[in-house]
Amino acid sequence: MSFTHAAQGGGGQDTRYWSGGVWSLLRKEVLRFWKVGLQTLGAPMISSLLYLLIFSHAMSGHMRMFGRVPYTSFLIPGLAMMSVLQNAFANTSSSLIQSKITGNLVFMLLSPLRAGEMFIGYVGASVARGLGVGASLLVVAWVFVPLQWTHPLWIVVFALLGASMLGALGLIAGIWAEKFDQMAAFQNFLIVPATFLSGVFYSVNALPPFWMAASHLNPFFYLVDGFRYGFFGASDVSPWLSLLAALLGNAVCGGIALNWLHRGYKLRY
């Protein structure tokens, strides 16, 4: 792999740019979860299918969402997005905390990769894992329950935005945490409740006013609602509002993660 040397303005120091660095890191991270695909891809899909089986059996025929959508059909996009979010977060956070605990993170810090290149490599792999699990769930569910594809572009956009946002949030968690207990607390007390309370299993318009307002403060709600709009052309809030919230969430999480990577916050000891 080739290196290009470029003079850094003002300081007169040379900075190394590794043309293949991003691809190498991305490939490493993808192979990391692919080699244990039964655990990282198969297990989340099976868990989501179990949710689908239980909830659809309990609620199917008892209610329709948006006035016309069968509950089982309504449930599938929500479960798919929940899988995308949780697995995208898990990929970056687990990779970083494992590297910190085992002590091999130093090799990454000594590489010529810049903060932006590390960000792209880690988050890119988390997007791949999240989309892989979500797409697999949709394909398997489609065999049993016909799905609508009213606005396919919205589906793709919100899937990408959701996976990238949670990938960046996973970087934040992985940088902040110093041991597995802290990482588990971050996931159990923030990520899991936020995804379960984002309208995956219900329409927030059916909630009492207080809880409806509280749901609108949950950024994950806009990811799920916008993603679902792509299937049915109906949603609890405007898809444009959801898109704005998703872009804002990516900007905030991505900005914090990039800043911490650039500063070496909790990475350099």
- Kindly write down the DSSP assignment for every residue of 223-240, as one continuous string: HHHHHHHHHHS--SS-HH
Which residues, 6 or more positions from 91, have their beta carbon under 8 angstroms from its beta carbon? 29, 33, 40, 125, 126, 129, 130, 167, 170
Which residues, 6 or more positions from 114, have their beta carbon under 8 angstroms from its beta carbon? 17
What are the beta bridge partners of residue 6?
15
- pLDDT of 105 reads 86
Phi, psi of 54 (to 5 degrees): -70, -50
> Are the CB atoms for 229 and 235 separated by under 8 Å?
yes
- pLDDT of 91 reads 94
- The pLDDT tens digits of the residues spanning 224-252 come to 999 999 999 999 999 999 999 999 999 99
Average model confidence (pLDDT) for the chain?
86
- pLDDT of 84 reads 96
Range from 13-27, 38-52, 182-196 carrying the lowest mean pLDDT: 13-27
- The pLDDT tens digits of the residues spanning 54-107 come to 877 666 655 667 777 888 889 999 999 999 999 999 999 999 999 988 888 888
- pLDDT of 21 reads 81
